[in-house]
C-alpha cells in the first residue's frame, strides 16, 4: 500500500489550527505506513521531512536543554551498542563465542562521565557569562 506524507505545515493563518490538523494527519500517516512502531529518531526524521522546509528552519533555531542533549547522547550510545550486539548475535548462532552484555555498572559509569562532561561545559558557559557582567554583579550566582 502506497501511503503519502501529509501536506506541509501552513505557517500562516491560524497556526494553532494548522498545527492540530498537521499533527493529526502525521499521526494517521505513521499508523498507515507502519512507522508508528519505529524509533523516536526515525519518527523525528519523518516529521522533519513532512513538515516543510520553512518549519524545519524554525526547528533548527531551537536550543536543546542539557537534559535533552544528555538523552540524545545516551540514545546514540545505546544504538551503537545494540548494533554491536546484534552483529555478535549472528556469530553466536554460528557457534562462535558471544560477547556478553556489559555490566550495568559500566553503563552507569559512562552516563556519569557524560553528565560530568556536560557539567564542565556548563561551568565554562557560566564563567563566560560572569566575565561579561559589570563588576557590581560579580557576587551573584547566575544559576
Asked if residue 86 and residue 39 are part of one domain, the reply reads no
Q: How many helices (H) and strands (E) does the chain have?
A: 5, 0
Q: Which three cell numbers stand for residue 19?
A: 498545527
Q: Give the separation between CA 24 and CA 127, rounded to whole angstroms.
A: 44
Instruction: Tell whether 3 is covered by a domain.
Output: no
Asked if residue 132 and residue 114 are part of one domain, the reply reads yes
* Number of domains present in the structure of the chain: 2
User: pLDDT for 96-129, tens place per residue?
Assistant: 544 445 566 777 777 777 887 777 777 776 666 6
Does this model's pTM top 0.75? My answer is no
Asked if residue 23 and residue 83 are part of one domain, the reply reads no
Give me the chain's average pLDDT, please: 77
Asked if residue 120 and residue 100 are part of one domain, the reply reads yes
Q: Give the separation between CA 90 and CA 8, rounded to whole angstroms.
A: 42
| pLDDT the model gives residue 98 | 44
Task: Give the percent of the chain with pLDDT over 70.
Answer: 72
Q: What is the mean pLDDT of residues 72-81?
A: 78
Asked if residue 70 and residue 30 are part of one domain, the reply reads no
Asked if residue 94 and residue 32 are part of one domain, the reply reads no
| pLDDT the model gives residue 53 | 92
Instruction: Tell whether 27 is covered by a domain.
Output: yes
Q: Report which secondary-structure segment, H or E, holds 17.
A: helix 15-33
What 3-state class would DSSP assign to 82?
Answer: helix
Higher-pLDDT residue of 73, 38: 38
| pLDDT the model gives residue 99 | 44
Instruction: Tell whether 97 is covered by a domain.
Output: yes
Residue 100, domain extent: 66-137
Q: What is the mean pLDDT of residues 91-95?
A: 64
Asked if residue 132 and residue 74 are part of one domain, the reply reads yes
Instruction: Tell whether 10 is covered by a domain.
Output: no
Structural contact between residues 143 and 126, judged by C-beta atoms closer than 8 angstroms:
yes
Instruction: Tell whether 8 is covered by a domain.
Output: no
Structural contact between residues 8 and 52, judged by C-beta atoms closer than 8 angstroms:
yes
Amino acid at each position: 500500500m502506497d501511503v503519502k506524507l501529509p501536506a506541509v505545515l501552513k505557517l500562516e493563518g491560524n497556526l494553532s489550527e494548522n498545527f492540530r490538523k498537521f499533527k493529526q494527519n502525521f499521526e494517521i500517516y505513521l499508523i498507515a505506513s507502519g512507522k508508528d512502531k519505529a524509533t523516536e529518531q526515525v519518527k523525528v526524521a519523518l516529521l522533519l521531512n513532512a513538515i516543510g522546509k520553512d518549519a524545519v528552519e524554525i526547528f533548527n533555531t531551537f536550543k536543546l536543554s542539557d537534559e535533552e542533549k544528555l538523552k540524545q547522547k545516551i540514545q546514540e550510545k545505546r544504538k551503537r551498542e545494540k548494533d554491536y550486539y546484534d552483529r555478535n548475535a549472528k556469530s553466536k548462532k554460528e557457534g562462535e563465542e558471544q560477547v556478553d552484555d556489559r555490566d550495568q555498572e559500566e553503563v552507569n559509569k559512562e552516563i556519569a562521565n557524560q553528565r560530568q562532561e556536560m557539567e564542565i561545559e556548563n561551568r565554562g558557559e557560566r564563567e563566560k557569562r560572569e566575565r561579561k557582567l559589570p563588576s557590581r554583579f560579580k557576587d551573584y550566582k547566575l544559576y
